[in-house]
Structure 1
Amino acid sequence: MPLSSAPISAPIARQGDGADPYAWLQARDEAEVLDYLKAENAWQEQQLADQAGLRETLFQEIKARILETDLSLPSPWGPYLYYTRTTAGDEYPRHYRCPRPVDGSHEADEAREQLLLDPNELADGGFLSLGAFSISPDHQRLAYSLDTSGEEVYRLFVKDLDSGQIHSLPFEDCDGSMTWANDSQTLFFAELDDTHRPYKLYRHRLGEEAAHEVFCEPDGRFFLSCLRSSSERQLILQLGSKTTGEVWVLDAEQPQQPFTCLAPRVEGHEYDVDHGLLEGVWTWFIRSNQDGINFALYHAPQTDHSVPTRADWQPLVAHSDTVMLDGVTFNARAITLSLREGGLPVIEVRPQGLPAYRVQLPDAAYSLYVQDSLEFDSDRIRLRYQSLNRPAQVRQLLLDSGEQRVLKQTPVLGEFDADAYVSQRLWATAADGTQVPISLVMRRDRQGLPAPLYLYGYGAYGASLDPWFSHARLSLLDRGVAFAIAHVRGGGELGEAWYRAGKQEHKHNTFDDFIACAEHLIAQGVTRAEQLVISGGSAGGLLIGAVLNQRPELFKAAIAEVPFVDVLNTMLDPDLPLTVTEYDEWGNPQEPEVHARIKGYAPYENVRAQAYPATLVIAGYNDSRVQYWEAAKWVAKLRTHKTDDNLLLLKTELDAGHGGMSGRYQGLRDVALEYGFVFKVLGLAL
């Protein structure tokens, strides 16, 4: 299919025989497929060529707000402080350590620092993703893993930190994880199967050529992972599907021994495990949904000879119908609960021997999580806090007293005043009467009149889209464009029930909620349909594709990044990465009822002859999660069916995966392209 590099008209993909006329685009690396993708890239470049100057302006403007040379907060561990430094012009931060100051401060001593790893040198201008970055317990070695294609397949390395010598471990098809035992000689890592699922755990002792398989998970729905407990005394092997969990444990001092199962899997029982202290006694802690969907916390004392059975679990934090127990952080002196209540994250601290308390914060809508629990015996932890109009802060929390101190706030260079922007929480009413939260931010001086609006959504896997600050977003806000997040069902913002109400047979709620949010913003005079741009990526791209088919007249433009739009065909192919593991999220279309349900909303299947908004679609050629052809097939079908003259653009990153290009400047240029598309479609004069 020879196509010129600069077509004067949009590329039209040929239609093959059979039920899926664009299935030929799935023939990876075939010349015809690559020619088509390159022609689409050329068409996109040609259509946006008049914006080259604007994109450069936006790139420089965004970059100018970012402190390009900066130091992360050093984290203490053993005799060292560990930290990263970004340098102007570099795509990636460098990793360092320095000796821990004797005065107990956390100030880095640049005169005595040691460079541990420089990803800029390793990338050499190409794609690079750093997987594991794991220091051995004796602080003598660094285990790290690299993906150089975007396919999320990693090579494993160990660096001797005294000599600087690097050893490449001779293992392939690795998921990138690397976990040390306490002897600082034994590493555990996971291998991927043909569907890109981590399914085997191996043990490797440094100096040996071989690795020994210690666990294999045959069930294609279950992912395998290995981590160190908070106490640093146990290794935890976590097995999990979307609905069921199982945990095996091993004394970190005895890595040659086999793992022991804590509680055999029971369908529908999700649990995870950690190890720490409770009233001075070494204890197993289990977060489980056995008493309710919002999870509760249990404990069981550690014994010398065996792990506790499920019958030994004793309640510590009871299940709540209104509060979700999202996670737990353990230190020697306190247990920190990460909760969700009323659509927002809440941190509750339970110091040993002292009353529990909740962390108080200044904003009505925000993002908050435990960023760093520091060392197990530390008397403090670090929280990361931000809102739509407030840059991210790292806050130190003294566990006993609850005293907070802002250690670092992400700087915004140039003129910036958080109070110049107003952040709001709105509620839309869905078709079935459900109240759906919306987070909204705009310039304070633009309130009261309909404004261009960028509406973002996701709504899958129970993921919570808590409000976050963005340096780049200021380029929208300062030009009068408002930004909103639709917290639709299928996400986790309002707990497990909110997630379950947007998956499987309830997936239509995700789309209905998003449409309701758009309609509410229009009805409230925040925006108008001719000013409304919508965006989502991956499973959020499925959301965008579905609502475009259902209500195209409601939107002016759409951006879909690595969109999961060929849902039916993907879920019918168990040989593709992740398909089998996704049955619990979407259903198995081999079952007639499920097949009909997915076919009823799948964006690719439901493209029809109608006018569609202007649409920009982004794909990653090496994407192992959402294959490039989903976007390509969807765009090809849209081209032949849509009845309008609105822009339809496909950009395939030929050297990237699911997360796009890997460097920070490359990422800013991608944002500049998307924002330029928004300004072009909305006809904003800049």
Structure 2
Amino acid sequence: MSTTQPPIAHQAEGADPYAWLQDRDTPEVLAYLHAENAYQQSCLAEQAPLREQLFEEIKGRILETDLSLPSPWGPYLYYTRTTVGDEYPRHYRCPRPADDSNTVDESQEQLLLDPNELAAGGFLALGAFNVSPDHKLLAYSLDTSGDEIYTLYIKDLASGCLSALPFEDCDGSMTWANDSRTLFFAQLDDTHRPWRLLRHTLGEEGAQQVFEEADGRFFLHCYRASSERQLVLLLNSKTTSEAWVLDSATPHADFQCLAPREEGHEYFPDHGQLDGQWRWFIRSNQHGINFALFQAPADQVPTREQWQVLVAHRDDIMLEGLSLNAEALSLSLREGGLPIIEVHPRGLAAYRVELPDAAYSLYVQDSLEFASPRIRLRYEALNRPAQVRQLALASGQQQVLKQTPVLGPFNADDYISQRLWATAKDGTQVPISLVQRRDTLGQPVPLYLYGYGAYGESLDPWFSHARLSLLERGVAFAIAHVRGGGELGEAWYRAGKQEHKQNSFDDFIACAEHLIAEGVTTRERLAISGGSAGGLLIGAVLNQRPELLRCAIAEVPFVDVLNTMLDPELPLTVTEYDEWGNPEEPEVYDRIKAYAPYENVKAQAYPAMLVVAGYNDSRVQYWEAAKWVARLRTRKTDDHLLLLKTEMGAGHGGMSGRYQGLRDVALEYAFVFNELGVV
């Protein structure tokens, strides 16, 4: 280990002694971040061979040159291809075969976009990638710094002629009208919120403002309905939504409101067919928090009084979404913590998709063309690589079209995936997804425990090539499905937000204690990890129960939650009031201050910690991690490693290339292996 001393940030006068770290781009701040990076590199220098071994090991499992499953649309198959050595997949199309198969004709394929060429070795994130309805033009958007501000481009697919649209502060979205000449796009306000919808007609100067959302809690988003016959402008906060609709054949007409916003009413419309008739389908919580499905006539914009119940609200089943085809509607449900697809074919009895595993991830990946009699499902489990399954809507017959390959020796049955339940402080049963090598059962093993628990997001079990490097070394992997997530429906989410946020931390602690009590692991062999709002979870757990574990990883952690929520000028703050509360209200201030990781750093021993931030992150600013680490350095009473790594050229999602991402994983795994004594 390095003998280099860690950098100590100076403490300024005032209530927040490390607020000076928020002065982006100043020499003092940059010097501190670079000093922390140098310290991190020095401390982990001895792990360089292990990192390289892990990188090669993980890369060796991935089929580096591969073809995505082509999607049929109109006269073409659209697909991507990854090539060994390239950071990004290339986008292609070829003529659609006469037999309607998925067979690619490489002799006739056309390269649509090569992000490798566009990235030129730097950061690159592709936002929109939308081909016009007449298949002649490609609209796409690029972020080249990680700040999630995009430049918009139009490419003529016949001539290759490229033009950048002269619009600034774009969120990256681009939506075509059916004339293949009119584009709708959104702009960001000063707080990085999509708030203004504009319409641009190709060949004309400028753009016309279509809509402006003044309420800082609401995001604006425009999309094409499943039928392709309607455009939907959705305005939604964390608790309320409002939708405006427009016939996609008349893009210069005005959007019309489907139902005026009403505080607490969330609804999400789509357009399709019911018994051969065009209809609006509206998923709404007006009958209960788990949502019901309504239908309404589509010959004109229906009033809310015309909405008729199609699928009633159910207390024990969450209706999370729906996919529409001409011959069926497919409901995405959540029951008992698991995702379920329920298909309602036209004129036939409804059925549920049958699956082989006890805990899994499942969603509709591609509803294909509206007239298609098939949809594609993505299915995976902790021990099963992702599969794309084709579902014949009328019969329910499934066909695995593609399974993500794992190179080298791999057998899914060598690993056992389990669903466990921990008992929280208030008696609530909290689900845990666990996977480990079958031959390690019955003995305590090193364990990597992951959590998130915010915004109603569900952490369904997923497969990871990289995770095999944990499992093969006898390390178990678990997900704590704490309250604040959406795994057990809307009530589960609400029980972990606002005044109930402490439940998320209590649940995570209960999951760790259960895994220790059941002999799966020990405190000395437990690593915990989380990112963004999951980093807040990790930070709070570290303050409240630091003795419970050996080491922790916090990625782009939302740990300075109180100061961030007190600054409405920061990106996304106002929109977050519905999730965390507005600390301008005294009781909310006290509540957040009681758990905020930065405020609650104590003079106590902490586990070893690796903290990762992105300098260009617009969601969780780099200084949250920097301030937290600075305070930990002066208050913690132990000599365990405390490392801060700031990616100076990345945003919220870390480095953009696939090999860059693997090196980040290798760094974290090597850190964990060193701390847990894994060889």
Q: TM-score range by the shorter chain?
A: over 0.9
Cα distance in 2 for residues equivalent to 1:414 and 1:326: 37
Point out where structure 1 has 5 or more consecutive residues left out of the alignment.
1-5
Instruction: Indicate yes or no: 2:91 matched with 1:91.
Output: no
Matching residue of 2:405: 411
Matching residue of 1:561: 555
Matching residue of 2:67: 71
Give deviations 1:183-229, integer Å, cap 9, x for gaps: 00000000000000000000000011210000000000000000000
Instruction: Indicate yes or no: 2:40 matched with 1:50.
Output: no
Instruction: Indicate yes or no: 2:272 matched with 1:276.
Output: yes
SS at match of 1:225: strand
Matches within 5 A, 1:277-426: 277-303=273-299, 306-426=300-420
Instruction: Indicate yes or no: 2:189 matched with 1:189.
Output: no
Cα distance in 2 for residues equivalent to 1:410 and 1:191: 36
TM-superposed CA distance for 1:480, in Å, is: 0.7
Cα distance in 2 for residues equivalent to 1:362 and 1:540: 30
Matching residue of 1:160: 156
Letter paired with 1:356: A
SS at match of 1:517: helix
* Counterpart contact for 1:299–1:313, Cα < 8 Å: yes
Matching residue of 1:613: 607
Letter paired with 2:261: R
* Counterpart contact for 1:58–1:672, Cα < 8 Å: yes
* Counterpart contact for 1:7–1:39, Cα < 8 Å: no
Instruction: Indicate yes or no: 2:668 matched with 1:684.
Output: no
Letter paired with 1:565: V
- Aligned match of 1:453 in 441, 444, 447? 447
Letter paired with 2:149: V
Cα distance in 1 for residues equivalent to 2:472 and 2:441: 13
Matching residue of 1:525: 519
Matches within 5 A, 1:24-43: 24-43=20-39
Matching residue of 2:505: 511
TM-superposed CA distance for 1:683, in Å, is: 2.0
* Counterpart contact for 1:7–1:43, Cα < 8 Å: no
Give deviations 1:608-640, integer Å, cap 9, x for gaps: 100000000000000000000000000000000
Instruction: Indicate yes or no: 2:584 matched with 1:590.
Output: yes
TM-superposed CA distance for 1:7, in Å, is: 8.4
Give deviations 1:468-497, integer Å, cap 9, x for gaps: 000000000000100000000000000000
SS at match of 1:170: coil
Instruction: Indicate yes or no: 2:436 matched with 1:442.
Output: yes
TM-superposed CA distance for 1:106, in Å, is: 1.3
Give deviations 1:16-61, integer Å, cap 9, x for gaps: 0001000000000000000000000000000000010000000000
TM-superposed CA distance for 1:8, in Å, is: 1.8
Cα distance in 2 for residues equivalent to 1:679 and 1:31: 35
Cα distance in 1 for residues equivalent to 2:149 and 2:205: 20
Q: Please, what TM-score do these two structures have when normalized by structure 1?
A: 0.99
SS at match of 1:65: coil
Cα distance in 2 for residues equivalent to 1:281 and 1:448: 58
Matching residue of 1:252: 248
Instruction: Indicate yes or no: 2:502 matched with 1:544.
Output: no
SS at match of 2:591: helix
Give deviations 1:500-532, integer Å, cap 9, x for gaps: 000000000000000000000000000000000
Instruction: Indicate yes or no: 2:127 matched with 1:121.
Output: no
Give deviations 1:234-260, integer Å, cap 9, x for gaps: 000000000000000000000000100
- Aligned match of 2:469 in 469, 475, 483? 475
Cα distance in 2 for residues equivalent to 1:103 and 1:567: 56
TM-superposed CA distance for 1:684, in Å, is: 2.0
Instruction: Indicate yes or no: 2:660 matched with 1:666.
Output: yes
Q: Please, what TM-score do these two structures have when normalized by structure 2?
A: 1.00
- Runs of 4+ aligned residues of structure 1 deviating over 6 Å after TM superposition are none
Distance 1:7 1:362, change over 3 A: same
SS at match of 1:563: coil
SS at match of 2:196: strand
Cα distance in 1 for residues equivalent to 2:625 and 2:28: 16
Cα distance in 2 for residues equivalent to 1:321 and 1:187: 41
SS at match of 1:106: coil
Q: What is the RMSD of the two structures over their aligned residues, measured on CA atoms?
A: 0.6
SS at match of 1:195: coil
Cα distance in 1 for residues equivalent to 2:9 and 2:485: 35
* Counterpart contact for 1:185–1:206, Cα < 8 Å: yes
- Aligned match of 1:602 in 596, 602, 609? 596
Point out where structure 2 has 5 or more consecutive residues left out of the alignment.
none
Instruction: Indicate yes or no: 2:233 matched with 1:237.
Output: yes
TM-superposed CA distance for 1:103, in Å, is: 1.2
